[in-house]
Structure 1
């Protein structure tokens, strides 16, 4: 009776073909990187939600522009960045004695749109990698599986032995690649859907705040013209 084959995960990896090993290592790296992105984005979104809530409460509570500017300097991105961009344009226009210029309203709206766009890109950063792994991971693993099974059947032909004991190790090594592909893809898909929804909510809050701020500044501009 022949020696029993070692079917531990490490042994299956070490005995695999170099192509299958490359696929496995790539999928493991992708899985680790996906979890790093998930943790990073979850922490960033949680921080953004807290900061936005604080800033919205201050804004709705009637805080002055000076108080809001001071609060914005203690925060990083989000509504603070949108507010700071609008205030920078407002102050530049006043410094140039252009507060009553017809183009001030459009410049403020442009500054707000650009700030929201930049913050949106920052929020959605790295989500594309999750989407890529979520869609491509199973197929990359399947490629490793197909390659490994092809080698297994090649070994059968070379040994001229159709015994399952001959082909089983190679098939097991090949299926491990598929398992790793799913291990990387499933969390990536779930996390991408959740994080995309969270990012969308944060972006919607910034867009709503941008509209409210633009309306407030427009009223102040109209009041200044009427004075």
Structure 2
């Protein structure tokens, strides 16, 4: 009889232990979705995540704005280049561009301004002065369309390290929690580690598009500068012909 009672108690102990082990711990977070992990994260990790989300928003905003701007500028530059390649005179080009402020128009007006200051004398010094003016205008127009692109390189270079800082901070807090709870149960430390790794994931989400978009915009800007170079070459060809009749009675052009 005593042996049977002892065996029954042992059976209850064995069957009850898994039940206690499977009971939910009210101290553990129940929502392990990305939003739930963000809400349960440490304040420093939250600040890192918010900063990375803002950086990602800046990346896509710059991409949209620069895509629209560069697309319009390149289409206009191609139309102006076709006009210059059609064989018209500098005077005709000035008339077509005198009310515009696009890059090729600035090249045309700068050339006309130098022709005006030189009194129509087309010598070697004149061509050098025109080339210098065109080079300066090209550089200025390129800087203008490149504004805001440099921040993408900064985001692409720093976002992974910012995310890594949030991860290190979160894992450090997880180890502190292990020390305070005096347990190495994975269910206790896993949520904190998952929250920390979310910061690294957000860092990569912010950095990878920034690098790809920066390289894409750099190629587009390089192509745009090539168009400006072609327009400058056409203007130099135009003035190198040295026919005074092409600039006689030239309309006054402002830079």
* 1:210 is aligned to 2:232: yes
Counterpart mapping for 1:108-119 below 5 A: 108-119=130-141
- Among 82, 85, 102, the alignment partner of 2:110 is 85
> Distance between the aligned counterparts of 1:102 and 1:197, measured in 2?
34
Counterpart mapping for 1:22-41 below 5 A: 22-41=47-66
Deviations 1:159-182 (A, max 9, x none): 111111211121111111111111
Answer yes or no: is the 8 Å Cα contact 1:124–1:199 preserved in 2: yes
Answer yes or no: is the 8 Å Cα contact 2:107–2:232 preserved in 1: yes
Go from structure 1 to structure 2 and tell me whether the alpha carbon gap of 1:76 and 1:191 turns closer, same or farther (over 3 Å shift). Answer: farther
- Among 127, 143, 155, the alignment partner of 1:105 is 127
- The two structures have a TM-score, normalised by structure 1, of 0.88
Look up the match of 1:129.
Answer: 151
Go from structure 1 to structure 2 and tell me whether the alpha carbon gap of 1:130 and 1:211 turns closer, same or farther (over 3 Å shift). Answer: same
Give the secondary structure class of the aligned counterpart of 1:99: coil
Answer yes or no: is the 8 Å Cα contact 1:51–1:75 preserved in 2: no
Displacement after TM superposition at 1:73 (Å): 4.5
> Distance between the aligned counterparts of 2:98 and 2:217, measured in 1?
27
Deviations 1:100-149 (A, max 9, x none): 67643222111111000101111222221111111221121111111111
- The two structures have a TM-score, normalised by structure 2, of 0.79
- Among 118, 136, 143, the alignment partner of 2:165 is 143
Q: Which has the larger radius of gyration?
A: 2
Answer yes or no: is the 8 Å Cα contact 1:55–1:71 preserved in 2: no
Runs of at least 5 residues in structure 2 that lack an aligned partner in the other structure: 1-22, 247-255
Indicate the RMSD between aligned Cα atoms, in angstroms.
2.2
* 1:53 is aligned to 2:75: no
> Distance between the aligned counterparts of 2:159 and 2:32, measured in 1?
24
Runs of at least 5 residues in structure 1 that lack an aligned partner in the other structure: none
* 1:14 is aligned to 2:39: yes
Answer yes or no: is the 8 Å Cα contact 1:38–1:191 preserved in 2: yes
Answer yes or no: is the 8 Å Cα contact 2:122–2:240 preserved in 1: no
Go from structure 1 to structure 2 and tell me whether the alpha carbon gap of 1:115 and 1:10 turns closer, same or farther (over 3 Å shift). Answer: same
Displacement after TM superposition at 1:75 (Å): 4.6
Go from structure 1 to structure 2 and tell me whether the alpha carbon gap of 1:200 and 1:102 turns closer, same or farther (over 3 Å shift). Answer: closer
> Distance between the aligned counterparts of 2:232 and 2:44, measured in 1?
52
> Distance between the aligned counterparts of 1:171 and 1:70, measured in 2?
68
- Among 206, 213, 221, the alignment partner of 1:199 is 221
Deviations 1:59-112 (A, max 9, x none): 112334344234334654222222222222222333xxx736764322211111
